Chains A and B, each alone.
Chain A
Amino acid sequence: MDILALQQQVAIYRDENAYKRLFLHFYKGLIRFADTYVRQHEVAEEIVSDVMLKIWTMQEALTGIRNLKVYLFKAVRNGAINHLLRNRHYTTWDIDQLAPEAFVSAGTPEDETIHRELKHRFAEAVSQLPPKCQMVYKLIRENSFTYREVAAILDISENTVDRHLSIAMQRLGAVLQTYRHTSR
């Protein structure tokens, strides 16, 4: 999937088919990411739709985006935060306390080599991580982002991203250790 080529098709030739492919390619990841903030599927859909709309209307400016995936995730996060701020009188979310809900690694291939019990323990360990830490782990695992990309999306430093991921990895490592000693 050559994202840059599709960007060019959309920006210069107004190619609806290329636009559709971009939409389908990024949709699921963006929806999941928006969901972690707004917790309402309809709202998440609206936010993603707004962001994708802008991709079409920005015309030639689209070719100036070097990393579309990061751009989209960042835009979705901004949209989600704006939505939360606008609706402050209903909800009192602290942006920094938002974490991915019940960790379901949807869309990742089933790893047949590990036991369901272990999988469950991993998920539990992740859900007990600090919110930001979960967010970082989820972005890297589910969307294969690098440190730099996660830092850009969440507006934090690469060092902070590294610290969060280290914590997550250590925690998972510990789960694995105890699991080995308790099973078999």
Chain B
Amino acid sequence: MKEERFYHLVRRILSGAASTEEAAELQQLIDADEQLAILYRQVFPGGEEEQDEDSEALLAYSAHYARMQIAGLFDPAPEAEVRRPRRVKMYLLPAAACLLVMALAGAWWFGLRDHSLAGREIKTPKGSRSHVVLPDGSEVWLNANSSITYKGDFNRTGRELTLTGEAYFKVAKNADKPFIIQAGALQVKVLGTAFNIRSYADEPDIETTLESGSVEITLNDQPGNTIQLKPGQKLRVDNSLHTAYANDSTVSEPADPAGAMLLLSKMKVDTAGNAMTDAAWKEGKLVFDGDDFQRVASKIEKWYNVTVVAENSLLQSSRFTGIFDNKSLETVLSTLRETGKLAYRVEHDTVYIR
């Protein structure tokens, strides 16, 4: 009888259905009965064999490696950039002194107007979009419920800003002052370019789509590596790192760096005729590009400043594609209804979809 129970529990474990109680019960059986323990080890010998320094495998790898070299598959990888902390060199001191004098003179000249380094925050609420020109001449289109923050010394030494939400950037070329954007779990270094970043805290992915020029992306948890994007490429990063933003535009450390796993994919985006769907929002077009329902709902919420409540779990597997050029919420919803996949009702600022 005990054997029968033992067999049953082993099978539950292997089918992945066993509860913690069942696992504990199996452990007790093994501990109490040496025969069952022997049998158990015939199925679970234990000791994950990780003989990575196995000579047979190493030998096989060198043969395999040679084969790949001959096939020309190992192209020389670009050297990963090593960022050293900036050291103020001695010969820079006079220049720094001059700057300080000028800054003080300026402060006096402008009647001690606030030139502090408090920085700026530009915000767009849900339901609206904005367009700003930064001190360096770069243009930013901000989508709904998004913000950029930068310090008061923006464009003096470098150009760094922090983004939450979605923005389209047209960056003014200036090779001496790299333009760096912190967005959730990654930072994007710009080398003069036009591109789109979507990085809302309530959405699982961060998407960077490049229209022209080039950008270098660094994941905050892997500072030694950079990812280069070419025009027409989109990088999607799983933002499972829940990064919180402090107001001084520093990105806090991920809570659990060991458990931080980013899944990346690069994909081709059609940029023909400059019709980059990812950035069409800045022309007032609401675009669904094969989006799943969760993303559709998220886009509608931000675009029209409403709350979307899904009352039908079957919707999660549906995908939607469409472009709405400056259309009303009602138009978008009724068009979605015509797919036959859903019905809706609007009460105040809440849309119920089922």
Contacts and interface: CB of A to CB of B under 8 A. Distances in A.
B313 interface: no
Contacts of A122: 42
Contacts of B81: none
A20 to B, nearest CB: 6
A56 interface: yes
Interface stretch (A86-94, A127-135, A139-147): A139-147
Contacts of B264: 8, 11-12, 60, 63
B35 A23 contact: no
B16 A146 contact: yes
B61 A64 contact: no
B51 interface: yes
Contact of B7 (A27, A109, A166): A166
Contacts of A113: 37-38
B21 interface: no
Given A49-B67, A169-B7, A180 B15 contact: no
Given A53-B67, A111-B45, A141-B43, A165 B11 contact: yes
Contacts of B77: 13-16
Given A20-B61, A49-B64, A60-B266, A180 B46 contact: no
A86 to B, nearest CB: 20
Interface stretch (B52-60, B126-134, B157-165): B52-60
Interface in B33-82: 35, 37-39, 41-54, 56-58, 60-61, 63-65, 67-68, 71, 73-75, 77, 80
Interface range for B: 35 or more
B104 to A, nearest CB: 46
A8 B262 contact: yes
A11 to B, nearest CB: 7
Interface in A144-184: 144, 146-148, 158, 162, 165-166, 169-170, 172-173, 176, 180
A114 interface: yes
A27 B57 contact: yes
Interface in A89-129: 105, 107-109, 111, 113-114, 118, 122
30 contacts: A8-B261, A8-B262, A12-B264, A13-B77, A15-B77, A20-B61, A23-B57, A23-B60, A25-B52, A28-B51, A28-B56, A48-B60, A49-B67, A52-B64, A53-B67, A57-B73, A63-B263, A108-B45, A111-B38, A137-B43, A144-B44, A146-B14, A146-B15, A147-B14, A147-B15, A147-B16, A162-B11, A169-B7, A169-B39, A173-B7
Interface of A: 1-2, 4-5, 8, 11-16, 20-21, 23-25, 27-28, 31, 45, 48-49, 52-53, 56-57, 60, 63-64, 105, 107-109, 111, 113-114, 118, 122, 137, 140-142, 144, 146-148, 158, 162, 165-166, 169-170, 172-173, 176, 180
Name the 9 nearest CB pairs between A and B, nearest first: A27-B57, A108-B45, A109-B47, A147-B15, A24-B52, A24-B57, A107-B49, A60-B266, A49-B64
